[in-house]
Amino acid sequence: MSSQGDGAAEEGPETASTETDATSGDIITVTIGATVPTGFEHTAAEEIKEKIGVDARISKDRGRVFFPITTDKLFQVHLLKSVDNLFVVVEEYHHYQFKESKDETLMELQELASKLPWTNALEVWKLNGTLKKKKGHRRGGNAAKSKPNCETGDVTLADTEQQELPQAVSAAEGQTGAEDTHEGETCTQDSDEAAPGAKLIKFRVTCNRAGDKHSFSSNEAARDFGGAVQEFFQWKADMTKFDIEVLLNIHNEEVVIGIALTEESLHRRNISHFGPTTLRSTLCYGMLRLCKPQASDIILDPMCGTGAIPLEGAIEFNSSYYVAGDNNDMAVNRTVNNICHIQKRRADKGSVSGLPIDTVQWDLCNLPIRTSSVDIIITDMPFGKRMGSRKKNWDLYPSCLREMARVCRPGSGKAVLLTQDKKCFSKAISRMGGLWRKQHTVWVNVGGLHAGVYLLKRTGDVFGQTPEDVYESRGTVNTQGNEKDDKQLS
């Protein structure tokens, strides 16, 4: 792609659209961008290949993938479970040469707005609107957290007089309200309020910027680029009740301009009762794919919190059976409420409401489960920040790993464990050397924290006959009583 902001970008194999006329009703090919949980880009690419049949390209900016799709298959992008947000690419520049002066750079961004190939992207945006059910107003200010060295800016210009635009597709405006965004999440609103006939289109521009060599801020880029988009399309700027969200993603010298296709991040899809440490559904899906559930597998989440992991599994990998438990009664109640919410939603749609999941309140280090009866253990362990403490983790981690080894099938059992307390976890695994083997680690960003998803394999050693069983005395397990009060996983 071109490295200049003159708008006349060279269209390479990764350009946003083909030369087919989008307004003719013909099938066109566009590039779709997706934000995914950081660290699970390859998992998302595998799912895209599996469900859509195309190869995805992983961006240099972690947490984003791109793939081509034809408009007749656009509905398939909404079947993806590993992506947070979707957008159609207007144009992308892999080596954009920013000017050294801030004023020159911002002026160049203003000039870029009128030279971009908007037509196909706007047609896809309109088509996408017909594929989704109308929802209520977008929740204002629902900003997500941002990556380190990342900024997000929404800029709002003064409202111009309302004009009825017969054919207009929404435009962007500059509204300044800095929003930190982590993994590209931004607040969403719905393209509704469609009055019959022509209506005024409202828009906003969201800028996500990463890199320390830029002379401008996200807010300044969104403000100036949004103002130019507004002038070009004559759209009305509205930061919360917008129809179109124009995205300006800048990562070092890579620039991608797009139009959002999702109104609300897809990671909220299963949870209605949130707790203090609720995992994103998209991250849960990535963890589940990592352990490759098979038909009839018994899958255990001994620290289920709000039940995000077993719920995602029961919906997406429903040939396995899930047991969710926690030692905190509030966490167990949240899980039950979330299960009931999903069952009611499915019943309202006329689908089979039953889910292969059960919920129990238990003592994590003394599980009421038979030895060697579980195929997969998958859970979000306490980081020692919002839940529990780092000090107590030094006792809790070895005790729970030992109990997990007891219930897991020797030789074939697996565990997928998420934690940010890497030092404590590594030490606990080294003390469990005869029971667990670490196979793979995926480094992820969880709420701004650098955490690891560890894939462990249960060794063939019979529980009760390894040196670890002697080293980890039964007395250690009983120290868990104190953790029980602090360990409110949700």
Domain of residue 220: give its range: 27-133+201-266
Instruction: Look at the block and give the residue holding tokens 């579980």.
Output: 374
Task: Using pLDDT thresholds of 50, 70 and 90, give the confidence band for residue 49.
Answer: very high
Instruction: Look at the block and give the residue holding tokens 């953790």.
Output: 483
Beta strands 244-251 and 236-237, pairing class:
unpaired
Asked if residue 403 and residue 336 are part of one domain, the reply reads: yes
pLDDT at 18 over 80: no
> What are the percentages of helix, strand and coil residues in the chain, rounded to 5?
30, 25, 45
Asked if residue 352 and residue 454 are part of one domain, the reply reads: yes
- Is 433 or 172 the better-scoring residue by pLDDT? 433
Q: What is the pLDDT of residues 291-318, one digit of tens each?
A: 999 999 999 999 999 999 999 999 999 9
Paired tokens of 252: 């070092």
pLDDT at 212 over 80: yes
CA angle, 18 then 24 then 27, to 5°? 50
Determine the average pLDDT of the residues in 205-227.
92
Q: What is the pLDDT of residues 408-435, one digit of tens each?
A: 999 999 999 999 888 899 999 988 878 9
Whole-number average pLDDT of the chain: 79
Instruction: Return the CATH number at 398.
Output: 3.40.50.150
Q: What is the pLDDT of residues 434-461, one digit of tens each?
A: 899 999 999 998 888 899 999 999 999 8
- Is 161 or 74 the better-scoring residue by pLDDT? 74
What's the gap between Cα 260 and its chain centre?
Answer: 15
Beta strands 254-260 and 85-93, pairing class:
antiparallel
Beta strands 298-301 and 376-380, pairing class:
parallel
Asked if residue 367 and residue 318 are part of one domain, the reply reads: yes
In a domain, 48, yes or no: yes
Report yes or no: 263 and 132 within 8 Å, Cβ to Cβ.
yes
Determine the average pLDDT of the residues in 112-129.
94
Determine the average pLDDT of the residues in 248-255.
92
Determine the average pLDDT of the residues in 107-112.
94
Most confident segment among 261-275, 301-315, 380-394? 301-315
Q: What is the pLDDT of residues 176-197, one digit of tens each?
A: 333 333 333 333 334 344 444 4
User: Cα separation of 367 and 256, whole Å?
Assistant: 50
In a domain, 330, yes or no: yes
Phi-psi region at 211: left, alpha or beta (left = phi > 0; alpha = psi -120 to 50): left
Asked if residue 307 and residue 206 are part of one domain, the reply reads: no
Percent of the chain with pLDDT over 70: 74
Q: What is the pLDDT of residues 73-89, one digit of tens each?
A: 999 999 999 999 999 99
The DSSP H or E segment spanning 122 is helix 119-131
In a domain, 1, yes or no: no
Paired tokens of 232: 């070009």
User: Cα separation of 89 and 259, whole Å?
Assistant: 7
pLDDT of residue 186: 38
Asked if residue 249 and residue 291 are part of one domain, the reply reads: no
pLDDT at 365 over 60: yes
Determine the average pLDDT of the residues in 212-231.
93
Nearest of 257, 253, 156, 152 to residue 209 by alpha carbon: 152
Asked if residue 285 and residue 262 are part of one domain, the reply reads: no
In a domain, 488, yes or no: no
CA distances to 271, 315, 352, 396 from 347, in Å: 17, 14, 6, 40
Asked if residue 346 and residue 253 are part of one domain, the reply reads: no
In a domain, 35, yes or no: yes
Structural domains of the chain, count: 2
Paired tokens of 317: 């990998």
